[in-house]
Amino acid sequence: MDKPKEGSGEYMEAMDPDTVVRTHWSEVWKYLFFMTGSRFAADDLTQDTFIKALRTLDGFRHESSLKTWLMRIARNTYINHKRSAFMRRVVPSAEIEPDASAASAEKEYLAEAGERKVWELVFRLPDKLRETLLLEAHYDMTARECARLLGIPEGTYKSRLSRARSRIDRMMKEEERG
Q: pLDDT by residue for the chain (178 residues), tens digit each?
A: 444 444 444 444 457 888 899 999 999 999 999 888 889 999 999 999 999 999 988 888 788 888 889 999 999 999 888 876 444 443 334 334 445 555 555 455 444 556 667 778 888 899 899 888 888 777 767 889 889 989 999 999 999 999 988 898 888 888 878 7
Backbone angles phi, psi at 69, to 5 degrees: -60, -45
- What CATH number should be reported for the domain holding residue 55? 1.10.1740.10
Q: How many domains does the chain have?
A: 2
Phi, psi (5° rounding) for residue 162? -65, -45
Residue 58, Cβ neighbours under 10 Å: how many?
A: 7
126 and 106 within one domain: yes
Residue 97 lies in a domain: no
- Is 0.95 surpassed by the pTM of this model? no
Long-range contacts of residues 40-45, Cβ cutoff 8 Å, at least 24 apart: 41/81, 45/74, 45/77, 45/78, 45/81
